[in-house]
Amino acid sequence: MPRPWRSSKNWWPSAAKKGRQEGRRAESGALPGRLVKRPCGALPAALSERFEQLPLARLGALVEAILDLGDVEGLEEWLRRL
């Protein structure tokens, strides 16, 4: 019986890379919500969904901006300016 996963020796590195990328993306999308939750309380679902849609570069900028924004309204304004 053929074993398709053994047909290529390159499947493992590409699968591992894809898994790492997906894991980084998921964690990066969750980080802003966790940072804002402590000072501002629970966020509206729509706002959390916007975090998840941002590219990684914007998420990094958002994490830095959260330290200066102070409240949910400031965060919403920052997202509107994108």
Give the total number of structural domains in the chain. Answer: 1
Q: Which domain holds residue 73?
A: 10-80
pLDDT tens digits along 18-48: 777 777 766 666 777 777 777 777 878 888 7
Does 42 map to a domain?
yes
Q: Tell me whether residue 3 is in a domain.
A: no
Q: Helices (H), strands (E): how many in the chain?
A: 4, 0
The answer to whether position 1 is within a domain reads no
Residue 23 within a domain = yes
- DSSP string covering 13-25: HHHHHHHHHHHHH
Backbone φ and ψ of 48, nearest 5°: -60, -40
Q: Do residues 44 and 51 touch, judged by C-beta distance below 8 A?
A: no
User: Phi then psi for 81, rounded to 5 degrees?
Assistant: -75, -10
Higher confidence at residue 19 or residue 49?
49
Any domain includes 5: no
Longest dimension (CA), the chain: 61
78: pLDDT strictly greater than 80: yes
pLDDT in tens, 59-75: 888 888 888 877 788 88
